[in-house]
Structure 1
Amino acid sequence: MKITLSFLITGHTKFSPDCGFGLVKRLFMRTKVNKLADIAEVVEKSSVMNMAQLCGDERGTVTVPSFDWTAHLGSFFKKFTGIKQYHHFSFFADGTVVAKIFSDSPETSYKLLKVPLPIPNDLPERIHPPGLDNKRQWYLYNEIREFVDEADRDIVAPLPHQPQLPQPGPSTAEISADEDPQPPPPKVRKKGRGKRGGNQ
């Protein structure tokens, strides 16, 4: 059994769905967006060809789960070094991959399997979004909340549950305890030589 996979050359990857992104961008530039649901509405209204699918929401609800495929597959397969330079691949049942940079380039063969077949069908460990850290939450609350519509403020930039951490100041090693920090001296503007051709 063999599976063949080919990719377009960089710079020649334009295809029909690209116009859908252009329609979304055009409406997005003319629409006020506060939250993820607003973005989904823009996508839906931009064209009959566009459909929005949110992966989650601001409250941490996950609609489309993510799995740690990198760690999972790393137990069974070797890394394909320099894979981005290749455009044509042929995959064989024994774990061998034959790759070519271009269609008329010489073939390069790689053995990717680390362990004999079959590979377990178990799903990898699920990745849970960590959420925003304390600093980012307070940034949204202090700096962004005022620009959000009042009805959406507690969704986009709610009051954080944890107190705001103090901002780090200058270290005591840099500033002596018995002297105040001095501001940098003002810059002195140098005088020009004037216009040429004047009196000497």
Structure 2
Amino acid sequence: MSYRELNERSNQLGRYLRDQGVQADTLVGICLERSLEMLVGILGILKSGAAYVPIDPDYPQDRISYMVGDAGMKQVLSSSSSYKVLEQYGDLSVVLLDTDLGRMSNYSTENLSVAVRPSDLAYVIYTSGSTGRPKGVMVTQGNIVSLSTGCDYVSLDSQTIWLSTGSISFDATTIEFWGNFIKWRTINNIRYQYTFKFS
């Protein structure tokens, strides 16, 4: 997928989410496997002015339940292969990004004119909960820009091709995605099942 296609599809999704009442600091869940749709989902949420909450579909059900309730989510972006972990939450509006994007095709592909401030939320990531209940850590737009532009432990240039292997529920993916998005670099986003293969 080209950056142009990514931008256009995420613009359409962002407009759709705005029509669903999403606004600044609304928390929208994203529960799906690593895919191009995942990247469209993250960008679409942010373009709508909202913040995303990554939910790993492989998490235990009690952890997913806690996160959905604690974050007060009303909308979740998912896929036909991952949404089953959300079926028990009847009050959630679930959009399947691998099959439902067609209903957004009438939306404009132009950039949205949503004002975003550095202090606005970008995402809320939940800790492992190893010392008790998982805690939602709020990360702002300014935090992402600061990390992505001030990275001094890896050299990113115009020739960089980044192999992205981390879970979106792991905070290190911030540099995997945004360190590359900001400079329009190539990201090879592989699915978990292909990360390690031993024969």
TM-score normalised by the shorter chain: which range applies?
under 0.3
* Structure number, greater radius of gyration: 1
Between structures 1 and 2, the one with greater helix share: 2
More strand by share: 2
Q: Higher RCO, 1 or 2 (CA under 8 Å, sep at least 6)?
A: 2
